[in-house]
């Protein structure tokens, strides 16, 4: 083979192009005549190749090198390798390495960086081999290399993960683990790292650890950063993505982003001083639960996070969340490294071997010269070959090669391309293959002097050909196993190859498609759509997806084709039948929409009419919906047609009644009661059964329906209605999938109808209950007035009798208590029925509190309790003074009831803080939960009733404001109906307020807080007639 790279007529085109790309023959230094290695041979190698002269100036690179580095060979030619390709800190060492190669003239291995054209640093393992001329002088330096950048980065990253695993395994708790995680992330991944922990109770995120690279932040910034996490919820989607286990990459941090994240002005200033430029936030998840997050940032280093950084950060977070996987990961990485080292050793061994064997025989066929490759192959030193015949050296090889030598000697003509094979080494059982080229060697006078032999081993090529044949056989098996269609097409849409895992999906047999264009083979728009997609895929060199329908065996099928460029003028199309998938998607969409229609309304007629509009044309061209009045009688609710032009016909059909229901059901294919979905072709006889008269029959005929299906609405053993669907399309059939979908729609419609009926019954029962409570309250209140009058008469009739006075006092107190209970019951009934109205006016809150306290002060004194009041003047609300006093009195009466003798009750009212906290001014009423907040919108007032009574158990707190819910005193049920707090909640919410209860537990008292919106004080001061409650 000519190593000078010259091309002659009839030479290989690829070799000619490679020669044209390379410069004309460079002369080796020192006056030698050995040209540089041929460009075609170099381009055929999959490894990186750089050819330099003995002084290290680049002469030639191969295509693999240009592809990997982005350098053009012409731009590098003439430059020293250490100046053009090596980093500055490695240039001197590379220059010295080239000097040693010239001195030792022996091949050597090295590792180092190679700078790509875009500035990337590639880590390459090189084998440098001096090429010697006949005199033994170095003519060229051949460097072959393997790009190990990804492997090296993987090893470095796995080492980092190993340290993370060890550190996390030794951490005593989650906080310490997060601190170590943040420290290990710096500076390898970021300039600073912050680990956040999610409080599972209140769902708040707080900072758990922070670490930064030295010099990345100004002194003192870390200490001043708030412990609260940045306001991630302000960035749409970030929190939900973290909860879903996704990482978030903010490639560029703008000042608007800092303002959104900052929790305060000071925090914003600190973020600006930190000079954060890029951020990646990854979730820390375990067992499907979000534990926290790790935020990585780069600041003054000038980096920008990209997708690889996000992947590394995500992997680091996964390692932290699942530390138990570290051993497995280490073992896998270690095994991968070992395999890599083994493959690298094999590569070095292959590069140390010469690619071609050469021998020269005299006319007696005795060795005159042999090279190292052939010497090693024969197992005999080079010098031991000279003067001996091939049979003396290798009898096995002689049987195949000697006939070639004799033929060349006899004919005087070359004999090229003879393939030989042999077991090598002998006895190994492994076959090797060689191409032997024999040619006559003549003197200048033309005298035959001997035979030259070039031996090229093609074992690997033969193995690859065998593997390729095996691979093609495997691909054929795969194609036949998969349900896809495979096409290879030319740029003009001509079929070149067709393979089908499911031949029934082919529009035509494969032998009829090959050689035809898509537009000729596929009908109408389908062929044009596919051919247009082929042109676009070749122009953009991207993978495109196209959907197209085909009529096959009388059935419309929908296909999805993925078109991928194969060469500059060929594409591969993988097509799949997606008919069933599309049907399933449409069914799911229909069921989802039906759920909305059937679940969003209680108007039965409107609901069924919406169902009729929904199901066409997906499940038919016509739809009738009937509502059952009895098992034998139905009412038509809606008739709907898919074709808008038939809307008038649909309106005409709505006027006709459904008669003779039992006969209709029998004709539809059922006997007795309707219990299942039935379908059948629609004949004129069936239309006559359905019609109520000739005019109705004619209208039914005009619909043109061919096949129909009937589905009952049945729930709890009752027939609630009937759904009739019909198709006018000739090829339409109600197959198993469509029947199942209709049946599911009927089931859901039955549930919706049943729910609507149950809701109506529940509303009626609830209204009856409220009416009963109202009547009962009025009837209970009527006897109380005569009793109170009698009490007053008794008090005046015997003013000096202590026993009478005590008895009268007890009766008076209990009657008033009974009157208050009846009033509460009546008010609660009015609230629930919506009949209560508020007489709104500006109300001074302190006046309301004082009036309520004065009313119940005697009860507190009689119970042996201390009652303290502290109100802030000037608090005005827009409300009903009597109802607000009722709220305070109910809370105060509740406190008196559940506080033992000697206890204390405190009542207070003040304005809530700007942050919404219900804290009293000065040394007011401290509560068990001073951090409780009122709603943040507008100014609000806090009204608090606190006692030192029996307290409230934690399990009772959530149910405290429910109607008829009561506490216990001494293990016994307390007196009353249990409606006072329910009425407090209702009246408070009618005023736009909020009420809640707090207690540290039994025996530790309780605290009730009412929050009401404030208004501006009236300009004219107080309005007694409007804002003061009745005493």
Core vs surface per residue 242-261: b (16+ CB within 10 A) or e: beebebbbbeebeeebbebb
Q: 474 vs 464, 503, 599, CA distance in Å?
A: 15, 18, 53
Q: Name the DSSP class of 38.
A: P
pLDDT for residue 915? 55
Q: Which of 965, 943, 837 is nearest to 891 (CA)?
A: 943
Least confident stretch, 66-75, 794-803, 986-995: 794-803
Comparing 624 with 814, the larger pLDDT belongs to 624
CB 807 within 8 A of CB 783: no
> 3-state DSSP call for residue 655?
coil
Residue 247, classed as helix, strand or coil, is coil
226-230, 979-983, 1002-1006: which has the minimum mean pLDDT? Answer: 226-230
For residue 14, pLDDT beyond 50 = no
CB 641 within 8 A of CB 622: yes
Structure tokens of 859? 């009860």
Dump pLDDT digits (tens) for 446-470: 899 999 988 888 888 888 888 888 8
Per-residue confidence band for 372, with pLDDT thresholds at 50, 70 and 90: confident
Question: What number of other Cβ atoms are within 10 A of residue 200's Cβ?
Answer: 10
Query: Which pLDDT score, from 0 to 100, does residue 632 have?
Result: 67
What pLDDT is recorded for position 1029? 60
> Which band of pLDDT confidence, cut at 50, 70 and 90, is reported for residue 829?
low
Q: How confident is the model at residue 919 (pLDDT cuts 50, 70, 90)?
A: low
Counting every residue written for the chain, the total comes to 1031
pLDDT surpasses 80 at 177: no
Cα dihedral value 968, 973, 975, 981, nearest 10: 50
Q: Given a cut of 50, is residue 873 above it in pLDDT?
A: yes
Predicted confidence (pLDDT) per residue in 278-328, tens digit? 888 888 887 677 777 888 887 765 566 777 778 878 887 877 776 534 434
Query: What is the rounded distance in angstroms from the CA atom of residue 473 to the CA atom of residue 484?
Result: 17
Q: Confidence band (pLDDT; 50, 70, 90) for 11?
A: very low
Contacts of 82 (CB under 8 A, 6+ apart): 56, 90, 91, 92, 94, 95, 98
Could you give the domains of the chain? 13-147 (3.30.450.20), 153-332 (3.30.450.40), 353-458 (3.30.450.20), 482-577 (3.30.450.20), 582-759 (3.30.450.40), 837-1027 (3.30.565.10)
756/479: higher pLDDT: 756
Choose between 1008 and 956: higher pLDDT. 1008
Lowest-confidence region among 152-156, 243-247, 534-538, 803-807: 152-156
For range 500-527, the mean pLDDT = 85
Provide the pLDDT for residue 24. Answer: 40
d(CA 95, CA 107): 16
Say whether pLDDT at 725 is over 80: yes
Return the pLDDT at 477: 76
pLDDT at 26: 46
pLDDT at site 19: 36
Write the pLDDT tens digit of every residue in 28-79. Answer: 444 445 677 777 888 888 899 999 999 999 999 999 999 989 999 999 999 9
- How many Å apart are CA 290 and CA 198, to the nearest integer? 7
User: Residue 604's pLDDT band (boundaries 50, 70, 90)?
Assistant: confident
- Which of these ranges, 533-547, 566-580, 597-611, has the smallest mean pLDDT? 597-611
- Per residue in 103-142, pLDDT tens? 999 999 999 889 888 667 788 999 999 998 888 889 999 9
- State the average pLDDT for the chain: 79
Rounded to an integer, what distance in angstroms lies between the CA atom of residue 621 and that of residue 705? 8
Residue 401: pLDDT over 70? yes
Within 8 A by CB and 6+ apart from 504, the residues are: 552, 553
- Provide CB contacts within 8 A for 622, sequence distance 6+: 616, 639, 640, 641, 642, 650, 703, 705, 725, 726, 727, 728
Whether the pLDDT of residue 961 is over 80: the answer is yes
The pTM of the full predicted model, rounded to 2 decimals, is: 0.40
What pLDDT, on the 0 to 100 scale, is given for residue 37?
79
| pLDDT, position 927 | 44
pLDDT tens, position by position, 649-675: 888 888 877 655 566 666 555 443 444
Residue of higher predicted confidence among 1015 and 594: 1015
Q: What is the pLDDT of residues 684-715, one digit of tens each?
A: 887 887 788 888 888 888 888 888 888 888 88
Q: What is the pLDDT of residue 631?
A: 65
Tell me the two tokens of residue 392: 């003396």
Measured between alpha carbons, how far is 379 from 791 in angstroms, rounded to an integer? 134
- Of 535, 548, 534, residue with least CA distance to 576: 548
pLDDT exceeds 90 at position 850: yes
pLDDT digits (tens, 9 = 90+) for 852-865: 999 889 889 989 99
For residue 329, pLDDT over 80 is answered with no
Lowest mean pLDDT among 383-397, 844-858, 1017-1031: 1017-1031
Task: Kindly state the tokens that stand for 59.
Answer: 């002469």
132: which strand partners?
A: 138
Pairing of strands 876-879, 866-871: unpaired
Do the Cβ atoms of 574 and 485 come closer than 8 Å?
yes
Q: How confident is the model at residue 352 (pLDDT cuts 50, 70, 90)?
A: very low
Residue 422's DSSP bridge partners are 432
């Amino acid at each position: 083979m000519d190593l000078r790279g010259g091309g002659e007529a009839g030479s290989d085109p690829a070799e000619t192009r490679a020669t044209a790309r390379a410069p004309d023959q460079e002369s080796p230094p020192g006056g030698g005549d050995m040209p540089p290695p041929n460009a075609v041979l170099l381009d055929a190698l999959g490894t990186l190749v750089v050819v330099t002269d003995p002084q290290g100036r680049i002469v030639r690179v191969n295509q693999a090198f240009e592809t990997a580095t982005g350098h053009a060979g012409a731009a590098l030619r003439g430059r020293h390798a250490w100046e053009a390709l090596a980093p500055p800190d490695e240039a001197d060492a590379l220059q010295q390495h080239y000097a040693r190669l010239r001195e030792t003239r022996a091949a050597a291995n090295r590792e180092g960086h190679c700078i790509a054209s875009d500035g990337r640093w590639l880590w390459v393992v090189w084998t440098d081999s001096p090429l010697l001329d006949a005199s033994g002088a170095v003519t060229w330096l051949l460097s072959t290399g393997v790009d190990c950048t990804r492997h090296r980065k993987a090893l470095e990253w796995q080492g980092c993960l190993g340290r993370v695993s060890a550190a996390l395994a030794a951490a005593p708790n989650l906080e310490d683990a997060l601190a170590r995680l943040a420290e290990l992330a710096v500076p390898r991944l970021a300039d600073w790292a912050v680990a956040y922990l999610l409080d599972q109770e209140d769902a708040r995120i707080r900072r758990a650890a922070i670490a930064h690279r030295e010099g990345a932040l100004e002194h003192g910034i870390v200490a001043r950063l708030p412990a609260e996490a940045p306001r991630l919820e302000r960035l749409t989607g970030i929190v939900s993505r973290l909860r879903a286990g996704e990482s978030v990459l903010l490639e560029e941090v703008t000042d608007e982003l800092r303002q959104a994240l900052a929790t305060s002005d000071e925090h914003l200033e600190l973020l600006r001083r930190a000079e954060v430029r890029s951020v990646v936030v990854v979730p820390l998840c375990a067992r499907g639960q979000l534990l926290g997050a790790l935020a990585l940032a780069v600041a003054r280093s000038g980096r920008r996070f990209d997708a690889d950084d996000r992947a590394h950060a995500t992997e680091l977070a996964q390692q932290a969340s699942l530390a138990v996987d570290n051993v497995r990961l280490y073992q896998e990485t270690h095994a991968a490294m070992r395999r890599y080292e083994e493959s690298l050793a094999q590569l070095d061994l292959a590069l140390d071997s010469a690619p071609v064997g050469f021998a020269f025989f005299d006319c007696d066929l005795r060795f005159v010269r042999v090279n190292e490759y052939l010497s090693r192959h024969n197992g005999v030193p080079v010098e031991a070959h000279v003067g001996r015949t091939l049979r003396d050296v290798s009898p096995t090889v002689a049987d195949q090669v000697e006939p070639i030598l004799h033929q060349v000697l006899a004919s005087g003509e070359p004999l090229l391309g003879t393939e030989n094979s042999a077991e090598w080494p002998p006895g190994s059982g492994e076959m090797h293959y060689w191409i032997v080229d024999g040619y006559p060697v003549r003197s200048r006078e033309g005298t035959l002097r001997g035979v030259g032999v070039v031996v090229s081993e093609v074992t690997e090529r033969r193995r690859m050909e065998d593997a390729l044949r095996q691979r093609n056989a495997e691909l054929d098996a795969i194609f036949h196993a998969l349900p896809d269609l495979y096409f290879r097409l030319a740029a003009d849409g001509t079929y070149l190859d067709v393979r089908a895992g499911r031949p029934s999906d082919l529009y035509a047999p494969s032998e009829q498609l090959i050689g035809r264009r898509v537009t000729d083979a596929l009908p109408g728009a389908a062929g044009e759509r596919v051919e247009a997609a082929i042109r676009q895929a070749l122009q953009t060199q991207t993978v495109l997806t196209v959907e197209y329908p085909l009529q096959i065996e009388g059935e419309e099928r929908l296909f999805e084709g993925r078109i991928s460029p194969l060469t500059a003028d060929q594409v591969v199309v993988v097509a799949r039948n997606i008919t069933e998938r599309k049907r399933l998607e449409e069914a799911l969409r229909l069921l989802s929409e039906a759920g909305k229609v059937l679940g969003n309304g209680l108007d039965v007629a409107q609901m069924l009419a919406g169902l009729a509009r929904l199901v066409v044309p997906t499940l038919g061209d016509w739809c009738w919906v009937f509502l059952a009045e009895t098992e034998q009688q139905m009412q038509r609710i809606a008739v709907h047609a898919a074709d808008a032009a038939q809307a008038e016909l649909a309106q005409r059909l709505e006027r006709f009644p459904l008669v003779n229901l039992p006969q209709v059901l029998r004709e539809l294919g059922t006997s007795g009661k309707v219990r299942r979905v039935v379908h059948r072709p629609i004949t004129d006889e069936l239309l006559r059964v359905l019609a109520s008269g000739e005019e109705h029959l004619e209208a039914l005929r005009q619909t043109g329906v061919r096949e129909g299906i009937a589905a009952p609405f049945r729930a709890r053993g009752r027939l609630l209605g009937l759904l009739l669907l019909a198709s006018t399309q000739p090829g339409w059939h109600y197959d198993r999938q469509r029947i199942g979908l209709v049946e599911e729609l009927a089931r859901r419609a039955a549930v919706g109808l049943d729910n609507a009926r149950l809701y109506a019954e529940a509303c009626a029962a609830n209204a009856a209950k409220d009416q009963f409570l109202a009547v009962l309250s009025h009837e209970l209140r009527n006897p109380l007035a005569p009793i109170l009058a009698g009490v007053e008469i008794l008090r005046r009739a015997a003013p000096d009798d202590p026993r009478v006075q005590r008895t009268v006092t007890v009766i008076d107190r209990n009657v008033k208590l009974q009157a208050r209970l009846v009033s509460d019951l009546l008010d609660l009934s009015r609230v629930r029925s919506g009949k209560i109205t508020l007489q709104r006016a500006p109300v001074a809150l302190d006046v309301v509190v004082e009036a309520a306290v004065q009313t119940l002060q005697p009860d507190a004194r009689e119970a042996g309790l201390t009652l303290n009041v502290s109100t802030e003047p000037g608090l005005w609300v827009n409300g009903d003074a009597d109802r607000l006093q009722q709220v305070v009195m109910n809370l105060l009466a509740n406190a008196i009831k559940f506080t033992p003798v000697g206890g204390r009750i405190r009542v207070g009212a003040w304005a809530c803080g700007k942050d919404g906290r219900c804290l009293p001014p000065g040394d007011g009423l401290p509560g068990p939960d001073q951090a409780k907040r009122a709603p943040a919108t507008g100014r609000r007032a806090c009204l608090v009733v606190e006692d030192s009574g029996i307290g409230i158990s934690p399990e009772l707190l959530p149910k405290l404001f429910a109607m008829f819910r009561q506490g216990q005193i001494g293990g016994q049920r307390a007196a009353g109906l249990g409606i006072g707090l329910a009425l407090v909640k209702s009246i408070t919410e009618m005023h736009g307020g909020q009420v809640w209860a707090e207690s540290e537990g039994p025996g530790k008292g309780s605290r009730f807080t009412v929050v009401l919106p404030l208004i501006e004080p009236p300009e004219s001061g107080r309005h007694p007639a409007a804002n003061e409650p009745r005493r």
